[in-house]
Amino acid sequence: MKGIFWNYRGLRDLAKHTFLHDVAKDKRLDFIALSETNRNSFSTQCLKNFCAGADFVWHWRCPRGMSVGMLMGINRESFEVENIIDGDYYIKFVLRNKVDGFRWALLSV
């Protein structure tokens, strides 16, 4: 399993978009967790670009108070998302590995 946790600090910089796309494509990431996105919503095209066109399930938290938003995605080819929990300062995916059925949680704070 390969993934990235990244304090993104806003989405205005095109170089960050390009870097994330290239890493997702080259490393074939299974998950992406971004913090400090500073966004209320994401376009379908933007999300497809982040994961280099892979089939991802996405969930985000809008900015609230001191928390400036989060985005997390998981590759559907590798994992089944059983539950998504949206806490005050975290996103938690409860997952099942499609190969061996192992259940686990991915948490981004």
Of 6, 2, 1, 4, nearest to 70 (Cα)?
Answer: 6
**Is residue 67 one of the residues assigned to a domain?**
yes
pLDDT of residue 43: 92
Q: In the chain, count of helices (H) and strands (E)?
A: 2, 7
**Is residue 95 one of the residues assigned to a domain?**
no
**Is residue 19 one of the residues assigned to a domain?**
yes
**Is residue 101 one of the residues assigned to a domain?**
no
**CATH label of the domain that carries residue 42:** 3.30.110
What is the residue-level pLDDT of the chain in tens, covering all 109 positions? 899 999 988 777 889 999 999 999 999 999 999 999 888 889 999 999 999 999 999 999 988 876 688 999 999 999 999 999 998 889 999 999 999 999 999 999 9
Rounded Cα distance between 32 and 43, Å, is 16
**Is residue 64 one of the residues assigned to a domain?**
yes
pLDDT of residue 66: 67
What is the layout of strands, in order, in the sheet containing 91-97? 79-86, 91-97, 103-108
Domain span holding position 69: 3-79
How many structural domains is the chain composed of? 1
Rounded Cα distance between 49 and 20, Å, is 8
Reduced to 3 states (helix: H, G, I; strand: E, B; else coil), residue 1 is coil
